[in-house]
Structure 1
Amino acid sequence: MNESSESLISASNKLIYISNAGVLIQLKDRKILIDGLCRSNNPIYKDPSPEIAQKIKGGIPPFNDLDLMLITHEHSDHFDPVSVDEFSKNNPGTVILSTPNVITKLRTYDSMEMDKEQANLIEFNLNLHQEETLNFQGMKIRIISLAHMGKNQEETQNYAYLIEYGLKLLHVGDADAVSENYNQLNLVPQKIDYLIAPFPYISIPSARRVIKDYINPQKIAVLHFPHKELDHFGWIKATRKSFANVKEAFIKTNFLEELGTTLIL
């Protein structure tokens, strides 16, 4: 973690940027890790550093006593079954929640030594735009199935998670920023404190309209940026240029690019 992260680590409500779309969220006495353990098949995206991955798997602070591990979908830049399996064995008290494909991979993984029927794995099998609510240790988790962005992703189950525990945070995974995904969710009255979303949500004008019309959070944290040295398509520069044109009139937005960056919530 960088120096600023270390100085902020004691704050009770914070978000630490861990990997490509991975964040550690601490809300008072609760800790949730979302998409933190990944091993991307595409090297342009950021895996957790070996040091951080080992800390997560070993339950070493600040990753000790995790209440929930949430995984948005099975793609390698969001989920590594080998790492999550190791984490699960070392941290049996942490509940892992995800899609059927993710949970099936964990239940059938060869090295799984725990009782596969008793492991703390929760599977929600949701149709597109269907949702469920889980009340867990005082937290309210709204699990929403949203269409994954990009072509040929119709079969990918992507879950967004709206976490409510004092604050309200929405992590959308790789959900497409289109009105069809959000126009029936009634999110604006929820007064969401933080939207956590991939960078196209602020780089594309139509996506920004979706945010304003259907989510309207207090703040935004954008991630899923490629490594700068591998950004051959110029996505980072294009995102910053596009956002600069609307920055003053748009919702306050934090760019999560450097692993270890910490936001006080």
Structure 2
Amino acid sequence: MKNKGYLILSILFFSIINIFSQNIKIKYLANEGVLIKSKSTQILIDALFKKEFDFLDVLPNSELDIIEKAKASYGSIDIVLATHLHGDHFNPHLVGNHLLNNKEAIFLAPEETVNYFKDDFKDFNQIVSRVKPSTPNLFKSQAITIKNVEIKVLRFEHFGDSPWKEAENVGYLISIEGKKILHLGDSKINIENLKNFNLQNENVDVAILPYWQLGADQQKDIIEKHIKPKQIFVAHIPIEDHIKARDVIKSIGYKNTFLLIDKFKTITIK
């Protein structure tokens, strides 16, 4: 009888774990654009943009049209995130029309991006109630809950020189169904940017990081010490580097990496 009781308790214990830690699917779209999908929630990050630079990947117009019109599975998107306003991450018309056609979607972005959105999208007033700006001070964070999804907005300096580095750039730490997904946008990955966030203590399951910020031993050490992700998804890979990128990442010594190259490839995070 005692053994039977232990068996029942064990079944209940693992059932509870399963409830709070469901499988998450991450679908690569283009550049740093991904779709995160759980059993109950779908989140787009940096996915709605048009051709800005010839050397970077972009979704075909046919797919962008489906997203813009919120057709097929895109009609069930709950949250749309943009890390900053640059044209290889955000397009105000694509996002605006998606929100017009998907009445349930919420948009979150830095205030600079939202202001650009407001100025450039003529029907902004029709969706303004579902547009949420968040720009913490540099190296600070803000916790936001949208549709029962916990999102920590992390303010990072944008990589590069002027004018690129002036952009209000954020990362997102998303807690969903017992998993933590970190998307850093175009953040400069260095100790100064990372040290205040203590991401190494967040138990990050997946970190989506830009390829051009991974290419040195020093960067690897910083990422392993200050982010400590279980898995790295390598994004923002220039088209001309698609073939060699795998060897480059391997030569530096990264483990548990997945390169975001093949459009619509879906990875399950268990």
Using structure 2 for the length normalisation, give the TM-score: 0.85
Q: For the pair shown, which has the larger CA radius of gyration, 1 or 2?
A: 2
C-alpha change, 1:211 and 1:105, in structure 2 (3 Å) is same
C-alpha change, 1:113 and 1:143, in structure 2 (3 Å) is closer
- Residues 134-192 of structure 1, C-alpha deviations (whole Å, 9 max, x = no match): 02222110001101111113321111000001110000000011111111111111110
User: In structure 1, how many angstroms separate the alpha carbons of the residues matched to 2:69 and 2:121?
Assistant: 20
User: In structure 1, how many angstroms separate the alpha carbons of the residues matched to 2:54 and 2:197?
Assistant: 34
Q: Give the match for residue 86 of structure 1.
A: 97
Kindly indicate whether the alpha-carbon contact (under 8 Å) linking 1:92 and 1:119 is maintained by their aligned counterparts in 2: no
Which structure 2 residue ranges, 5 or more long, are not aligned? 1-21
C-alpha change, 1:208 and 1:108, in structure 2 (3 Å) is same
Q: CA deviation at 1:82?
A: 1.7
Is 1:185 the counterpart of 2:197 in the alignment? yes
User: In structure 2, how many angstroms separate the alpha carbons of the residues matched to 1:174 and 1:155?
Assistant: 12
Is 1:106 the counterpart of 2:110 in the alignment? no
Q: 1:262 aligns with which of 259, 266, 269?
A: 266
User: In structure 2, how many angstroms separate the alpha carbons of the residues matched to 1:246 and 1:155?
Assistant: 30
What's the C-alpha RMSD, in Å, of the aligned pairs? Answer: 1.9
Q: CA deviation at 1:202?
A: 3.0
Q: Give the match for residue 70 of structure 1.
A: 81
Which structure 1 residue ranges, 5 or more long, are not aligned? 1-10
Is 1:141 the counterpart of 2:145 in the alignment? no
SS of alignment partner, residue 218 of structure 2: helix
Q: Give the match for residue 131 of structure 1.
A: 141
Q: 1:13 aligns with which of 24, 30, 33?
A: 24
One-letter identity of the residue aligned with 1:45: L
**Higher helix share goes to which structure?**
2
Q: Alignment identity in percent?
A: 25
Kindly indicate whether the alpha-carbon contact (under 8 Å) linking 1:203 and 1:240 is maintained by their aligned counterparts in 2: no
Q: Give the match for residue 167 of structure 1.
A: 179
Q: 2:247 aligns with which of 237, 241, 251?
A: 241
Using structure 1 for the length normalisation, give the TM-score: 0.86
Q: CA deviation at 1:58?
A: 2.0
